[in-house]
């Protein structure tokens, strides 16, 4: 129940609607519980031959008006309470998505996409059932039970007590079967999460699946998960199919007791036929609200479990935008591009070796840094730490003279742009992909960013040009085009710090040289030509295993096993004739062999 209390702030936002809903359901039940009185009155008049046509028509007219009033106010109840629950559901989904956007990268390593989608679809829906149907039926049950019991006791207290004897069994039966249904429903949800995770993974990697001829294997794996899903759904269906017959059996038993005992009272002259009819109708009005007690209890249990899962995710988010109060930086302001790492160490999990060990270096604003080295040496880890996807285990990171953990995360995101080897392209137009970080950018700015990334001429070859929709993950683009599109997206943001992590792995050396001479802060490349970009200072970090990509940087770090083993400019590192020199010689030889 503690988890349910977390929903109270959401309920308070729509408390006026909820109060109106409670008022409407009360009026609706007043109308519905008055109908049996007029029905009983009409039957009594007919049974003693004291009825007149005008009197009967009057009773019918009143019953029709009361029934219409009950229906209208019940509709108004749904329009207030149920609509409120839908609005709260929207708020929950929005807040949940916002919390996912603030999660550290390690969170997504532990939680697969399918499971998160299950939270969004199933758990938030379970919470909505409590906020809407459960609240509405709880109010309906309380008011109906109060009014019906009042009128029944007014007719005969002893028949009332005898008639209500089986009703607790209905509640207990509903709760018992409902708990079984809840457990079965939870199993279905968990299996559905596995099913969606499997499907999402297969479709995302469909090219790999096809290239390795694994279609049959993936189909069999999905079929196995689907059979488990079918089996658990059938178990749930069997339990649900037993629910209604069981309730109807208890309802029939209650009506049988009432008719037997009440019929005897009518025969003995202790009750009129109209009074017995009222009992029959009142008992019918009371049965389903009483059964709803067990149903509501199960909804509360489901909602409690689902809400706990939802808020466990929301509570685990990084408090970057909320808790960075020690440094007050305007989000529209870019921070200085000077970077310093001071004895930084980091490992991704406790059971893994250090990805970085006591790494230190300084980079002045407006300069360039190249990072190269062996595979798994920690090059990309530096990017992850600079962008605060992870926090260092020890040491300090400074950007613009301010410690990274104290910089407002929104400001950091606007000041740092990174392009990774594995880029993500959205299923929208080329122009919208480039404008993703700056939706307000003009088409001229988009074109200039694409030209800087060496992509403009190729975009013009598409039938729709910049308005070409690239498909899911940019399926119509080549690997090099996707990388350059991501680069144009980063350039358009005009960041203080631009990080390129193997961003040219799918680009030929000629195109790479063209791009580098336009994005390096000093505007130089092998031929010393100047960049055509506007004159502004930008810090640039280029990470690559290819020496040709990093050799024009002001300073170069060579890394191995999480340590910086060599540093200096390209000529300085060649003069050392160490690991950097060996790598350069080997790559030069490979290039010569490829030309043969």
Q: What is the CATH number of the domain that holds 138?
A: 1.20.1560.10
Q: Which of 89-103, 227-241, 360-374 is the most confident on average?
A: 360-374
Dist. CA 385–CA 136, nearest whole Å = 49
The DSSP element (H or E) to which 65 belongs, if any, is: helix 53-77
Residue 89 lies in a domain: yes
Q: Is residue 189 part of a domain?
A: no
Residue 323, pLDDT above cutoff 80? no
Residue 139 scores a pLDDT above 50? yes
Name the pTM for this structure. Answer: 0.65
Average pLDDT over all residues of the chain: 83
Q: Identify whether the C-beta of residue 89 lies closer than 8 Å to the C-beta of residue 121.
A: no
Same domain flag for 306 and 440: no
Residues 12 and 161 in one domain: yes
| pLDDT for 526 beyond 60 | no
- The answer on 376 and 259 residing in a single domain is no
Residues 297 and 368 in one domain: no
Q: Is residue 13 part of a domain?
A: yes
3-state SS of the chain: helix, strand, coil percent to 5? 65, 10, 25
431 and 366 within one domain: yes
Co-location of 71 and 27 in the same domain: yes
> What was the pLDDT predicted at 389?
83
Backbone angles phi, psi at 256, to 5 degrees: -65, -45
Q: Are 389 and 307 members of one domain? A: no
Q: Which residue has the higher pLDDT, 557 or 520?
A: 557
Alpha-carbon span 104 to 279, nearest angstrom: 62
Q: Band of the pLDDT at 331, cuts 50, 70, 90? A: low
- Claim to verify: residue 368 and residue 305 sit in the same structural domain: no
Grouping H, G, I as helix, E, B as strand and the rest as coil, residue 546 is coil
State how far the Cα of 490 lies from the Cα of 516, in Å rounded to an integer. 14
Confidence of residue 324 (pLDDT cuts 50, 70, 90): very low
**What residues contact residue 25 under an 8 Å CB cut-off, 6+ apart?**
73, 74, 77, 81, 136, 139, 140, 143
- pLDDT tier, 333 (very low <50, low <70, confident <90, very high otherwise): low
- Closest to 32 (Cα-Cα) out of 81, 71, 58, 61: 71
Which is more confident, 332 or 58? 58
Q: 574 and 518 share a domain? A: yes
Q: What is the pLDDT of residues 260-319, one digit of tens each?
A: 888 888 888 888 888 888 888 888 787 777 767 767 777 777 788 788 888 888 887 644
Work out the pLDDT band at 28, boundaries 50, 70, 90: very high
Average pLDDT score over residue span 201-230:
84
Q: What is the CATH number of the domain that holds 539?
A: 3.40.50.300
Distance, in Å, from the CA atom of 538 to the CA atom of 451, rounded to the nearest integer, reads: 18
CA distances from 272 to 52, 154, 279 (A): 19, 14, 11
The answer to the question of residue 19 being in a domain is yes
Number of domains in the chain: 2
As a whole-number percent, the residues of the chain with pLDDT over 70 amount to: 92
**pLDDT value for 370:** 94
Read off the tokens for 359: 């790494």
Mean pLDDT of 35-44: 86
Q: Is 176 domain-assigned?
A: yes
Residue 411 forms part of a structural domain: yes
Query: What CA–CA distance (Å, rounded) separates 448 from 494?
Result: 12
Same domain, 304 and 344: no
233 domain-assigned: no
Residue 532 pLDDT level (bands cut at 50, 70, 90): very low
Is the same domain home to 272 and 365? no
Query: What is the rounded CA–CA span in Å between residue 533 and residue 518?
Result: 7
Question: Exposure of 78 by Cβ count < 10 A (0-12 exposed, 13-18 middle, 19+ buried)?
Answer: middle
Locate 6 and state its tokens: 């977390």
Mean pLDDT of 67-79: 93
Asked whether residue 304 falls in the same domain as residue 434, the answer is: no
Q: Which of 284, 316, 348 is the last residue of a domain?
A: 316
Tens digits of per-residue pLDDT, 400-437? 889 988 888 778 888 888 888 888 888 889 999 999 88
User: Taking a C-beta distance cutoff of 8 angstroms, is the pair 239, 120 a contact?
Assistant: no
Q: What is the mean pLDDT of residues 39-57?
A: 80
What band does 1 get if pLDDT is binned at 50, 70 and 90? Answer: low
pLDDT band for position 521 (50/70/90)?
low
Dihedral sign, CA of 51, 55, 58, 59? negative
Cβ-based neighbours of 69, under 8 Å, separated by 6 or more: 27, 28, 31
pLDDT value for 530: 41
In the chain, how many H helices and how many E strands? 25, 10
What does the pLDDT look like over 444-496, one tens digit per residue?
Answer: 999 999 999 899 999 999 989 999 998 877 888 888 899 999 999 999 988 88
Among 88-92, 234-238, 452-456, 528-532, the range scoring the smallest mean pLDDT is: 528-532
Which range marks the domain in which residue 580 is found? Answer: 339-595
What does the DSSP assignment read for 264-303?
HHHHTTSS-HHHHHHHHHHHHHHHHHHHHHHHHHHHHHHH
Spatial separation of the C-alpha atoms in residues 146 and 282, rounded to whole Å: 12
Counting Cβ atoms within 10 Å, is residue 205 exposed (0-12), middle (13-18) or buried (19+)? middle
Tell me the CA distances in angstroms from 543 to 349, 420, 577, 579, one per residue in order: 23, 9, 21, 16
pLDDT per position as a tens digit, 334-380: 788 899 999 999 998 888 888 999 999 999 988 999 999 998 899 98
pLDDT of 230: 92
Tell me whether residue 331 is in a domain.
no
In this predicted structure, what is the pLDDT of residue 317? 63
> Which candidate, 447, 450, 444, 425, places its Cα nearest to that of 436?
425
Whole-number pLDDT of residue 319: 44
């Amino acid at each position: 129940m503690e988890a349910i209390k977390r929903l109270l702030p959401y309920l308070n936002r729509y408390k006026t609607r909820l109060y109106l809903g409670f008022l409407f359901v009360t009026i609706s039940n007043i109308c519905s519980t008055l109908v049996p009185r007029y029905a009983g009155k009409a039957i009594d008049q007919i049974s003693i031959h004291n009825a007149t046509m005008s009197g009967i028509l009057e009773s019918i007219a009143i019953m029709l008006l009361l029934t219409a009033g009950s229906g209208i106010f019940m509709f108004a109840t749904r329009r207030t309470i149920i609509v409120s629950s839908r609005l709260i559901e929207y708020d929950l989904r929005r807040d949940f998505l916002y919390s996912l956007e603030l999660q550290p990268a390690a969170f997504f390593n532990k939680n697969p996409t399918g499971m998160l989608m299950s939270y969004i679809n199933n758990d938030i829906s379970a919470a909505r059932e409590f906020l809407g149907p459960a609240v509405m039926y709880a109010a309906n049950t309380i008011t109906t039970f109060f009014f019906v019991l009042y009128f029944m006791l007014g007719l005969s207290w002893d028949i009332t007590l005898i008639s209500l004897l089986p009703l607790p069994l209905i509640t207990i039966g509903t709760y018992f079967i409902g708990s079984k249904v809840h457990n079965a429903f939870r199993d279905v949800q968990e299996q559905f999460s596995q099913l969606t995770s499997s499907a999402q993974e297969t479709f995302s990697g469909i090219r790999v699946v096809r290239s390795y001829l694994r279609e049959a294997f993936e189909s069999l794996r999905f079929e196995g998960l689907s059979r488990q899903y079918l089996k658990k759904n059938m178990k749930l269906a069997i339990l649900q199919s037993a629910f209604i017959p069981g309730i109807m059996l208890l309802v029939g038993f209650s009506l049988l007791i009432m008719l037997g005992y009440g019929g005897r009272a009518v025969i003995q002259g202790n009750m009129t036929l109209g009074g017995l009819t009222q009992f029959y109708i009142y008992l019918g009005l009371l049965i389903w609200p009483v059964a709803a007690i067990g149903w509501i209890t199960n909804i509360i249990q489901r909602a409690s479990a689902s809400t706990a899962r939802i808020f466990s995710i929301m509570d685990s988010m990084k408090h970057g935008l909320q808790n960075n109060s020690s440094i007050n930086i305007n989000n529209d302001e870019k921070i200085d591009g000077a970077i310093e790492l001071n004895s930084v160490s980091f490992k991704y999990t406790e059971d893994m070796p250090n990805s970085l060990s006591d790494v230190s270096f300084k980079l002045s604003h407006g300069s360039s840094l190249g990072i190269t080295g062996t595979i798994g040496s920690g090059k990309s880890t530096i990017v992850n730490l600079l962008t605060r996807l992870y926090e260092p285990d020890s040491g300090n990171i400074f950007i613009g003279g301010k410690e990274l953990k104290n910089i407002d995360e929104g400001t950091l995101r606007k000041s740092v742009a990174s392009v990774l080897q594995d880029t993500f392209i959205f299923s929208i137009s080329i122009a919208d992909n480039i404008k993703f970080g700056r939706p307000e950018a003009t088409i001229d700015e988009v074109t200039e960013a694409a030209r800087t990334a060496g992509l403009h001429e190729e975009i013009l070859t598409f039938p729709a040009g910049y308005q070409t929709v690239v498909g899911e993950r940019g399926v119509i683009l080549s690997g090099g085009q996707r990388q350059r599109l991501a680069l144009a997206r980063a350039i358009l943001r005009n960041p203080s710090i631009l990080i390129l992590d193997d961003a040219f792995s799918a680009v030929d050396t000629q195109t790479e040289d063209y791009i580098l001479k336009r994005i390096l802060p000093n505007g130089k490349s092998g031929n010393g030509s100047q960049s055509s970009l506007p004159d502004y200072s930008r810090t640039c970090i280029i990470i690559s295993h290819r020496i040709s990509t990093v050799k024009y940087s002001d300073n170069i770090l060579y890394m191995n096993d999480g340590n910086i083993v060599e540093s200096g400019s390209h000529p300085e590192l060649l003069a050392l004739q160490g690991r950097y020199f060996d790598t350069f010689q080997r790559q030069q030889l490979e290039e010569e062999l490829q030309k043969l």
